[in-house]
A and B are shown apart, each in its own frame.
Chain A
Amino acid sequence: MSTPLTFQTLSGIADQLASGALTSVQLTQAVIDQTAAVESRVNALLSHDAADALAHAQASDERRAAGKPLGPLDGIPIALKDVIAVRDQPLTAGSKMLEKFVSPYDATVTIKLKEAGVVLWGRANCDEFAMGSSTENSAFKTTANPYDLARVPGGSSGGSAAALAAGEAIATLGSDTGGSIRQPAAFCNVVGLKPTYGLISRYGLAAYASSLDQIGPFTRTVEDAAIVLGAIAGHDHRDSTSFKTPIPDYRAALQEKKGPWKLGIPKEYFGEGLDPEVGAAIEKAIEFYRQAGCEIKEVSLPHTEYCLSTYYIIATAEASSNLARYDGVRYTHRSPDAKNIEDVYFKSRSEGFGDEVKRRIILGTYVLSSGYYDAYYLRAQKVRTLIRQDFLKAYEEVDAILTPTTPTPAFKIGETTDPLSMYLQDIYTVGVNLAGLPGISVPAGFTDEGLPIGMQLIGQPYQESDLLAIAHTYDSAHDWSGRLPEL
Chain B
Amino acid sequence: MFQYAGYSLLATHYSLLKIMNYEAVIGLEVHVQVKTASKIFTRVGQGYGHEENTLTDPVVLALPGALPVMNKAALDAIIKSGLMLHCEIADVCKWDRKNYFYPDSPKNYQITQFDQPICIGGEVEIELPGEARNVMGEHKKIPLTRIHQEEDVGKLTHFAHDSLVDYNRAGTPLMEIVSDPAIASAEEAYAFLTTLRTTMVYAGISDCDMEKGQMRCDANISIRPVGQEELGVKVELKNLNSISYVRDGISHEIKRQKAVLKAGGTIVQETRDFDGITGTSQSLRTKEDAHDYRYFPDPDLMPVRVDQAWKDRLAAECPERPFDKQRRFMAAYDLPYTITSVLVPDRELSDWFEATVAIAGKPQAQAVGNWIANDLLRDLGAANVSLADAKITPAHLAELVGLIEAGTITKQIAREVFTESFGSGETPSAVVERKGLKDDTNSDELEQWCRDAIAGNDKAREQFLGGKDGAINAMKGPVMKASRGKANPKLVDETLRRLLAE
Residues of A within 8 A of B (CB): 83-85, 91, 93, 98, 101, 103-105, 107, 202-207, 209-211, 237-241, 317-318, 320-321, 324-327, 329-331, 341, 344-345, 365, 368-370, 373, 377
Contact = CB atoms under 8 A, between A and B. Distances in A.
B301 A206 contact: no
A105 B63 contact: yes
Interface string B73-110: 00000000000000000000000010101010011110
A345 B101 CA distance: 8
Interface stretch (B190-198, B217-225, B291-299, B327-335): B291-299
16 contacts: A83-B65, A84-B65, A85-B63, A85-B65, A202-B65, A202-B67, A238-B67, A238-B69, A239-B67, A325-B62, A327-B108, A329-B103, A330-B61, A330-B106, A368-B296, A370-B294
A394 B97 CA distance: 34
Question: What 3 A-B pairs have minimum CB-CB distances, sorted nearest first?
Answer: A324-B108, A206-B64, A211-B299
Nearest to A314: B299
B111 to A, nearest CB: 11
Nearest to A95: B64
B58 interface: yes
A210 B299 contact: yes
B302 A241 contact: yes
A383 to B, nearest CB: 16
A486 B109 CA distance: 49
Contacts of A345: 101
A341 B68 CA distance: 26
A344 B65 CA distance: 22
A105 B64 CA distance: 10
Given A238-B69, A321-B97, 17 more contacts: A101-B64, A105-B58, A202-B65, A203-B66, A207-B65, A207-B67, A240-B68, A241-B299, A318-B299, A320-B294, A321-B294, A321-B296, A324-B107, A325-B62, A325-B107, A365-B294, A369-B292
Given A210-B299, A210-B300, A240-B302, A324 B65 contact: no
B367 interface: no
A142 B101 CA distance: 33
Contact of A103 (B64, B69, B294): B64
Contact of B165 (A204, A209, A320, A329): A329
B480 interface: no
A202 B68 CA distance: 11
A105 B69 CA distance: 17
B63 A104 contact: yes
B296 A327 contact: no
Contacts of B99: 320-321, 324, 368
Given A210-B300, A324-B99, A324-B107, A93 B64 contact: yes
B471 interface: no
For chain B, give the interface size range.
20 to 34
Contacts of A237: 69
A93 B302 CA distance: 26
B70 interface: yes
A83 B109 CA distance: 21
A471 B243 CA distance: 68
B67, B69, B99, B109: most-surrounded residue (chain A CB, <10 A): B67
Contacts of B107: 324-325
B108 A341 contact: no
A341 B64 contact: no
Interface-centre pick from A318, A321, A331, A373 (highest chain B CB count, 10 A): A321
A103 B302 contact: no
A325 B108 contact: yes
A345 B165 CA distance: 16
Contacts of A321: 97, 99, 109, 294, 296
Contact of B109 (A105, A241, A324): A324
Contact of A369 (B65, B163, B294, B302): B294
B291 to A, nearest CB: 10
Nearest to B304: A240
Contacts of B70: 240
A202 B67 CA distance: 8
B65 to A, nearest CB: 4
Contacts of B67: 202-203, 207, 238-241
Contacts of B63: 85, 103-105, 331
Contact of A317 (B101, B296, B301): B296
Given A240-B67, A368-B294, A373-B296, A327 B61 contact: no
A363 B292 CA distance: 15
B300 A241 contact: yes
A196 to B, nearest CB: 15
Contacts of B66: 203-204
Q: Which residue, B65, B69, B294, has most C-beta atoms of chain A within 10 A? A: B65
Contacts of A204: 65-66
B61 A205 contact: no
A325 B103 contact: no
A216 to B, nearest CB: 16
Contacts of A373: 294, 296
Contacts of B301: 240
Contacts of A203: 65-67
A355 to B, nearest CB: 20
A334 to B, nearest CB: 12
Contacts of A370: 292, 294
A333 to B, nearest CB: 13
Contacts of A207: 64-65, 67, 300
Given A324-B107, A345-B101, A370-B292, A206 B65 contact: yes
Contact of A98 (B64, B299, B300): B64
